[in-house]
């Protein structure tokens, strides 16, 4: 069996290959979008590693699989085949509703504080929002699956309510100091 090299040298001048074999600059909107999803997955792994509830860890593992699949969809230049479907979106929405039902109504902007786990969930949420912005840019240029866009939008909502849950009811209210 031939040893696979991790380095090829083909990207040394600032380009990379997409799944189709097309070479693009490493700062291409497509690479930015799937690279941000890759970063999100790394942080989702950190979040899951900090948790102790098996059902939440398992749910995050499912999310990681979906976001990785969306990244593959973006890398393959495939704007027609949906990498996620309505069931994936519904699972996120059900989990958002379940968590939200256990939380007090949100009356103020809150700051990410009070626990490392909540802060990790918030980091994931902000990276998710950046991935969504990158996907919107890419969508304008060459199209992205609608379900992928919806999934990433719902995912940031899930991460927000998860953050609130992980804060254990001790939310730090934004004091509006910058008037």
| C-alpha–C-alpha distance, residues 161 and 49, integer Å | 19
Closest alpha carbon to 165 in 109, 129, 108, 112: 112
Is residue 3 one of the residues assigned to a domain?
A: no
Domain-embedded: residue 160 = yes
Assigned domain for 163 exists: yes
- For residue 118, being part of any structural domain is answered with yes
Examine residue 110 and state whether it is found in any structural domain, yes or no.
Answer: yes
Total domains in the fold of the chain: 1
Q: How far apart are CA 130 and CA 111, in angstroms?
A: 18
- Is 172 strand, coil or helix? strand
Query: Residue 3 pLDDT more than 80?
Result: no
Q: Is the dihedral of CA 89, 92, 95, 100 positive or negative?
A: negative
Domain CATH number, residue 36: 1.20.1200.10
23: phi then psi, degrees, rounded to nearest 5 = -90, 135
85 versus 82: the higher-pLDDT residue is: 85
Per-residue pLDDT for 172 more than 60? yes
Q: Return the closest-CA partner of residue 35 out of 81, 70, 87, 83.
A: 70
Please state the φ and ψ torsions of residue 138, each to the nearest 5 degrees: -65, -40
Question: Considering the chain, what is the average pLDDT of its residues?
Answer: 86
| Residue 7 placed within a domain | no
Q: What is the pLDDT of residue 54?
A: 96
Domain that holds residue 86: 24-172
> Residue range 62-76: average pLDDT?
92
- Residue 9 resides in a domain: no
Q: Tokens 């999310």 map to which residue?
A: 63
Residue 70 within any structural domain of the chain: yes
């Amino acid at each position: 069996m031939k040893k696979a090299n991790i380095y090829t040298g083909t990207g040394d001048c600032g380009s990379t290959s997409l799944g189709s074999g097309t070479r693009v600059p490493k700062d291409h909107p497509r690479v930015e979008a799937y690279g941000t999803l890759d970063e999100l997955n790394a942080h989702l792994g950190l979040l899951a590693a900090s948790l102790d509830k098996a059902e939440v860890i398992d749910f995050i593992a499912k999310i990681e699989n979906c976001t990785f699949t969306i990244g593959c969809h973006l890398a393959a230049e495939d704007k027609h085949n949906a990498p996620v479907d309505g069931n994936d979106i519904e699972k996120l929405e059900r989990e958002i509703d379940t968590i939200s039902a256990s939380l007090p109504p949100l009356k103020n902007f809150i700051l990410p504080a009070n626990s490392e786990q909540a802060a990790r969930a918030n980091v994931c949420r902000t990276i998710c929002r950046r991935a969504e912005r990158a996907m919107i840019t890419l969508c304008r240029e060459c199209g992205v699956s609608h379900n992928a866009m919806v999934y990433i939008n719902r995912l940031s909502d899930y991460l927000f309510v998860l953050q609130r849950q992980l804060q254990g009811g001790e939310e730090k209210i934004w004091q509006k100091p910058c008037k």
